Structure 1
Amino acid sequence: MSSESHEVTDTPLVTVIIASYNHARYIEASITSVINQTYKNIELLVIDDGSKDDSPAVLKRLQEQYGFDLRFQANQGLARTLNDAIARAKGDLIVPFGSDDIMLPHRIATQVQYMNGKPEVGICSANIETIDQDGKVMGAREQRNRNLPFRRLDFDDLFLDRKPGPMAATLMLRREALEKVGGFNADIRLEDVYIELSIARAGYFIDVLGEVLAQYRDHPTNTFKNGRFMVDNVLRTFAVFSDHPQYEQVCMKFRNSMVLKYANRDKALSREILSEIPLRYWNKKTLRGMWRMAWA
């Protein structure tokens, strides 16, 4: 992107995109956390993706109060919705934000300051604090991503799972990097994993700050709780990068982890995944998963 059309300043415009689907219970807290940012040069685009709950009424009330850009559409899915919003966004920094999550007040200011003068960083992320569906901070056991140190990730760090990855609730994307990889892939429904890998493979770094900048809401309809969806879409995402020399090992390592993860929760899924792992790729997680399926 030419420097003439987008001059670098200390307070660049940040476009926050909230795509909401059936989150009437949570959407007000999400939107007001953006409105209340200490950083003020923010463009907020909110899209209701065909909600069937009370979301439209809540959003209209909030739009009248705060004056953000609000659009309603028939359900298109998150990737298409994000691409459409990015096409009309004016910011050089793009923040896709969950309609069930909450930003801490200094989040945008902290990340903008960090991204300034670092064109090699395509994505800035940070740590998260997990809250429950009522907004209460969850116990220490659920806070695996609260106290992680700063890390810089390249493609192999991410693809080979060498370091803890970025948190979806804290992503700030450089528009130039998004455009370089063609935006989100409408055929892949784990949008964050795909865009992180794509931008890293394009040669950018992903820097994850070692502080909490958002609250991630754990509730019954979180995507990650749908086991089959997660397994299918992670593997579909990995397939985009199948030219990597360790592609097969990466897929098998992931499958082994899923055998163990779902051995108690969904034995049928765990057995199905196990059947896709050749004996030579079995590891300790495979065996622990098998033991759980048999005895737990």
Structure 2
Amino acid sequence: MTEQLPLVTVVIASYNHAPYIEQCILSVVQQTYPHIELLVVDDGSTDDSVARIEQLQREHGFELRVQQNKGLTHTLNEAIARAKGSLIAPFGSDDIMVSERIAKQVAYMQDKPEVGICAGNIELIDSDGQLFPEPRQRRDIAFRRLDFDDVFMERKPYPPAPTLLFRKEALEQVGGFDPQIRLEDLLIELKITHAGYYIDCLGEVLAQYRKHDSNSSKNTPFMVESILRTYALFKDHPQYEFVRTRFLSSMFLKCSNRDRDYAKQLLRQIPFRSWNKKTWRGLGRLLFSPLERN
């Protein structure tokens, strides 16, 4: 029976997530979908991640490669090049899959060749694996289909990274992930939708996203630089300047009473004619609100 089902390759790039990696891998090997290839790559961890992964490998028989640190995008591209699956699920080594996640996504994508990426909703968990209190616990968002403009202009909620399932042919068509931009999710979504595919987001929880101090989203300058470089690749879009300055205003508001020096750097990049309500709110915080301590 499994020979008739598409093979799904799950790629876990592990990096210093020893407290979480076992739960992550077990959530993959315990999927209800029977036809999964699991590739685990440890990308130069300095904690005891490798020892924990090796113990699980002895029990479950997945492929493990251990390498010096290359970065996430290089690691993903190399794993995808040797993947046997026609569907690819890159998965964070600190997150957890819902047990029926892969089965539901494969069933949905079977007769929809126009869908290059299938996604879903997430629950938020903390470093101990506990659900965040309501209303932050769950992202309950209805089904939505996104094209390029939906993603570029943020007209609909973004697909959460821990739920992305790609057609391998779509990844290959756009040349995979860009090693020059380390925050990979937005760019690959733009590249695939720009190539004519859709992103369909199912209106149900498919994964648990772990929020902790080492999330890349906590590093605001890194995130801002990566997203601005991503947008710049599409600077010919008629709404490029609007999208760029709207993003800068949002980040300025976020940083205005947390990191004032960086907030001022962001403000200098926003032409006065492009100021919006968030810019003015951020300016008020910058001038009059007490500094928050993280």
Both structures adopt the same fold (TM-score exceeding 0.5): yes
Structure 2 Cα separation of the partners of residues 28 and 130 of structure 1:
18
- Counterpart residue type for residue 81 of structure 1: T
Query: Are residues 1:79 and 2:57 paired?
Result: no
Partner residue, 2:117: 123
Structure 2 Cα separation of the partners of residues 255 and 56 of structure 1:
39
Partner residue, 2:247: 254
Structure 2 Cα separation of the partners of residues 243 and 279 of structure 1:
22
Among 166, 173, 176, the alignment partner of 1:173 is 166
Query: Are residues 1:96 and 2:90 paired?
Result: yes
- Structure 1 residue matching 2:157: 3-state secondary structure: coil
Query: Are residues 1:132 and 2:126 paired?
Result: yes
Q: Identity over the aligned pairs, expressed in percent? A: 61
Please, which runs of 5 or more residues in structure 1 have no aligned partner? 1-8
How far off is 1:141 after superposition? 3.9
Partner residue, 2:49: 55
Please, which runs of 5 or more residues in structure 2 have no aligned partner? 290-294
- Structure 1 residue matching 2:105: 3-state secondary structure: helix
Check whether the contact 1:17–1:96 (CA below 8 A) recurs between aligned residues: yes
Check whether the contact 1:262–1:270 (CA below 8 A) recurs between aligned residues: yes
Check whether the contact 1:10–1:113 (CA below 8 A) recurs between aligned residues: no
Query: Are residues 1:275 and 2:263 paired?
Result: no
- Structure 1 residue matching 2:89: 3-state secondary structure: strand
Partner residue, 2:100: 106
Query: Are residues 1:33 and 2:27 paired?
Result: yes
Question: TM-score scaled by structure 1?
Answer: 0.95
How far off is 1:15 after superposition? 0.1
Check whether the contact 1:103–1:214 (CA below 8 A) recurs between aligned residues: yes
How far off is 1:265 after superposition? 1.9
Structure 2 Cα separation of the partners of residues 63 and 265 of structure 1:
43
- Counterpart residue type for residue 38 of structure 1: T
Deviates more, 1:242-251 or 1:149-158: 242-251
Structure 2 Cα separation of the partners of residues 176 and 202 of structure 1:
11
Structure 2 Cα separation of the partners of residues 195 and 21 of structure 1:
21
Partner residue, 1:5: none
Structure 2 Cα separation of the partners of residues 276 and 112 of structure 1:
43
- Counterpart residue type for residue 164 of structure 1: P
Cα RMSD for the two superposed structures = 1.0
How far off is 1:10 after superposition? 5.6
Structure 2 Cα separation of the partners of residues 153 and 269 of structure 1:
33
Structure 1 Cα separation of the partners of residues 90 and 136 of structure 2:
23
Structure 1 Cα separation of the partners of residues 90 and 164 of structure 2:
7
- Counterpart residue type for residue 76 of structure 1: K
Query: Are residues 1:233 and 2:222 paired?
Result: no
- Counterpart residue type for residue 18 of structure 2: A
Among 174, 192, 198, the alignment partner of 1:199 is 192
Question: TM-score scaled by structure 2?
Answer: 0.96
- Give the length in aligned residue pairs: 287
Among 182, 185, 192, the alignment partner of 2:178 is 185
**What CA deviation, in whole Å up to 9, does each residue of 1:155-195 have, x standing for no partner?**
00010010001000000000111011000000001111110
- Counterpart residue type for residue 274 of structure 1: L
- Structure 2 residue matching 1:237: 3-state secondary structure: helix
- Structure 2 residue matching 1:75: 3-state secondary structure: coil
**What CA deviation, in whole Å up to 9, does each residue of 1:107-142 have, x standing for no partner?**
000000000010000000000000000000001242
| Regions of 4+ moved over 3 Å | none
Query: Are residues 1:19 and 2:10 paired?
Result: no
The change in CA–CA distance for 1:268 and 1:141 in structure 2 (over 3 A counts) is: farther
Check whether the contact 1:156–1:162 (CA below 8 A) recurs between aligned residues: yes
Query: Are residues 1:244 and 2:203 paired?
Result: no
Check whether the contact 1:10–1:116 (CA below 8 A) recurs between aligned residues: no
How far off is 1:264 after superposition? 2.0
How far off is 1:68 after superposition? 0.3
Partner residue, 2:143: 150
- Counterpart residue type for residue 221 of structure 2: R
How far off is 1:233 after superposition? 0.5
